[in-house]
Structure 1
Amino acid sequence: MSNPMIYMDHAATTPMDPEVWKAMVPYLQQSYGNPSSVYSFAREGKQALTKVREIAARLLGAKAREIYFTSGGTEAINWALKGIAWGNQRRGRHIISTAVEHHATLHALEFLEKQGFEVTLLPVDEQGFLHLEDLRDAIREDTVLVSVMAANNEIGTIYPLKEIGALCRDKGVIFHTDAVQAMGVLDLNVEELNIDLLSVSAHKFHGPKGVGFLYVRGGIVIENLLHGGNQERGRRSGTENVAAIAGMGKALESLSHRKAALSRMTDLRDRMIEEILLLPGTRLNGPRGALRLPNNVNVSFRNLEGETLLMNLDLAGVMASSGSACTSGSIEESHVLKAIGVEEDFIRGSLRLTLGEATTEEEVLQVLELLRSLTARLRSLKRS
């Protein structure tokens, strides 16, 4: 008999809420009209888009007309970075970000560098924090954009968006934040946090995959990423995925009811961290306490391979991830762990466990016991 699955990779994706699926079905079966068409049948889809735009705007303290639907976080991030760079290059061609951003940001910035834009990637400290004085010193007369994630997807570090946004506002620089990991976890009022652009992906908070949105503050000059039709008020071409957007709306509506789950996840997170750190040769990656995402546990095991840990966990029915990524058969060390100065004998033995609303205390205890026995066995094999 196979082991029951214990899912601890909620930072990668979350299970879709059954209510989300129910919200999607009418637009897959009955109200399937193209929302850009003029007849009444199609207007049902258009009304759904309007409703979700209002839900998203209300959550962010924004205006509905400032919400633009995308195919997910990657598109939203790419549009924010490239659209601002292209649309504001007469003001300057300098962009600031950090060394620990998601690859969607880093690779988009590499693309812009090839087009002649200058990119400054700021360092972070050993817990992943950006120091405001470093950002202040890096801003120049020709700086047009600062992009700092709301929370790190690997080590869970939460960034001081309000202070970053205030500094950018004072310097007249546009501020974008990748909020893909933070939506539903942090308070993301764009007015209070001085945010000009914000990227979101629905599958990180129990919505469907392949849909998200970009918030763009009114008055911000941004070039289109996609060209074609006149959808999204002429800003983002392509027939809207009405069913997925409706599902995202239901997931967004449910966020306000999940505060108790966040508190419970925080307690389980802290228990996991404390118990794992009792094992020989372990270290925590990222901060402790309130400045860490409530579901994030990222630890490293000295002189063990993260891929070996993952494969053994998988055989035991535990789904997790590592700070390393397998590329063309070789192990690529995590750029985040490198940036925070994780030592060489720890960096390849990283493990990220991210909890969800349905994660139970029993599952946490099972994973902890499994890690105790697994790491002891692997270390014994190394010694023999």
Structure 2
Amino acid sequence: MTSNVGVQQQKVDVSIILPVYNAEPWLTECLQSVLDQETTATLELSAFMDACTDNSCEILRSWQPKLEAAGIQVVVNGHSNENPRGVGYAKNQAISQSHGQYLCFLDADDVMSKQRIEMQLAATVNRSFTMTGCQFNRLPAGSTERYTRWANTIQSDQLTTQIYTAHGPTIIMPTWFCSRETFDRVGSFDESGKGTPEDLLFLLEHLRLGGSVHRVNQCLLMYRYHPAAATNSVSKESIWDIRMKAVEERVLCHWESFTIWNAGKQGRRFYRSLSHSSQKKVVQFCDVDPVKIEKGVYVYEDCKEVPKPRVPIIHFSQAKPPFIICVKMDLTNGNFESNLESLNLKEGEDYILFS
């Protein structure tokens, strides 16, 4: 069943894009944060109900009079088919029915600070073709601690260069804010459904088209962690394949040769995942492990070529850039970071972080 609540009556500055799937435990707190926004912008809440089977629709309807009384226009649609179509589809539908010049993305289990829209609008309005995020905190406290620290502290230029790491998007989806023009330039979210990282695919395409990424360095969102969150349905294998495709198309195609930093499991997996043409560009592995270095060579045993590819393994201090780094940051008590810093390299040119 599809319903349409709310009539467009005035110009809208910002549409809050809210995909909803069985969000009953959190939706009231989420909607309260919409009502609490302190901004001079005209707002619209555009929600799409993706086959909800709980009381999410009733909660949204009960909040409609409060939101409209505060001057926030409300548009709600949805479907009651047996199977949900996924967050990509729900977000696309919510955007297509919205009217704002700018889009503010919000998940139904998250909570915005009162200043979120005002601050992100101010940060976006003079930046063309930009996706703007913000810092966030997690609930329960301490959830995904390494990821949260990384996403909140990487530098502005790293928002682009570190897009290939296993963390995923350098600005998290529930903090995204952009102009409608920016969204339309990319097109839409992937609608493949459960298990698809539609946010990562969208951000990679945005960057491929020359878009930029910006982060407001204020904590403007409470990002809830729970087992039912859509992000938990995305497999690590899917993320790996997407990252490999992107780094080959956007980085390795411009390099004549390169070094893989890590002769261990992750480095070897990266090598094996490369296309044949990219494998031929790998001149060496580098590492700090004396056992691997003493071995001297990595032989690609699974390759059907005769003779099988043999790639030298050397100490990192003797290796030549550029590097694809398959070492996780923040896990070696600073040893890896010190080694990397000792080479005086420039991120994005001399090396790309992949792990």
Give TM class, smaller chain: under 0.3
Q: TM-score, normalised by structure 1?
A: 0.24
In our comparison, the structure showing a higher alpha carbon Rg is 2
Query: Larger relative CO (CA 8 A, sep 6+): 1 or 2?
Result: 1
- TM-score (norm: length of structure 2): 0.25
